[in-house]
Amino acid sequence: MNVNQQFCFSKSTRLFVVSFMCVLGLSYIPLLLNIWIDTQMQVCNIQQAYGTFEFAELVEHTGKYISWFAFTFGFAVLTLLLGTDYSEKIKSVVAVVPFILIVSDIGSMWLIRFAPGIFCWQLWLSGFLLATCFLIIFLLVVSNVFFRKCKQ
């Protein structure tokens, strides 16, 4: 079996992958709405929203966000790694970058109280890059899986 044939999926499998990626994308909406409620996506509001968290609140938010991030990005990245025929270089970047951003995002939430000027921006930037990263992964998977020409 050559490389191109290895990644030729049936129509139903392609529809499943695309549908699954769409549902993962939709799962981003409640997260973004929660962040909008807390900060209106403005750096100046991040310190006010997250800088006063008590230890228990940080633990609660960390548990909620890390679980969501791990599930959503884990499945999205795994789909790209196993279901597409992109180069190993692209796959290696996608296999690492989102998870570095997740640690940056969660870590900056914990560190805001110590240096708000730095970590408010880091939290905002990490969140923005995570959303961008998900969009890129989504587009890469959908375009490769759904629009790939396969020789039968």
For residues 118 and 112, give the distance between their C-alpha atoms in angstroms, rounded to a whole number. Answer: 8
Flag whether 45 is in a domain: yes
For residues 24 and 34, give the distance between their C-alpha atoms in angstroms, rounded to a whole number. Answer: 17
Flag whether 58 is in a domain: yes
Predicted confidence (pLDDT) per residue in 119-151, tens digit: 999 999 999 999 999 999 999 999 998 777 766
What's the confidence (pLDDT) of residue 152? 52
Q: Are 34 and 60 in contact (CB under 8 A)?
A: no
Flag whether 4 is in a domain: no
Instruction: Please give the C-alpha separations between residue 119 and each of 27, 54, 57, 115, 133, in angstroms, as whole numbers.
Output: 26, 17, 17, 6, 20
Flag whether 110 is in a domain: yes
- CA angle 109/101/93 to nearest 5° reads 175
Which of 1-15, 32-46, 56-70 has the weakest average pLDDT? 1-15
Give the total number of structural domains in the chain.
Answer: 1
Q: Are 24 and 76 in contact (CB under 8 A)?
A: yes
User: Residue 30: which domain range?
Assistant: 10-147
Flag whether 2 is in a domain: no
Predicted confidence (pLDDT) per residue in 16-55, tens digit: 989 999 999 999 999 889 889 989 989 989 988 888 899 9
Predicted confidence (pLDDT) per residue in 70-120, tens digit: 999 999 999 999 989 899 999 999 999 999 999 999 999 999 999 999 999
Q: Are 111 and 90 in contact (CB under 8 A)?
A: no
Residue from 57, 67, 77 nearest 31 by CA: 67
Flag whether 24 is in a domain: yes
What's the confidence (pLDDT) of residue 105? 95
Work out the number of other CB atoms within 10 angstroms of the CB of residue 106.
18
Task: Tell me how far the alpha carbon of residue 113 is from its chain's centroid.
Answer: 25
Q: What is the pTM of this model?
A: 0.86
Flag whether 152 is in a domain: no
Tokens 């403005």 belong to which residue?
A: 42
Flag whether 68 is in a domain: yes
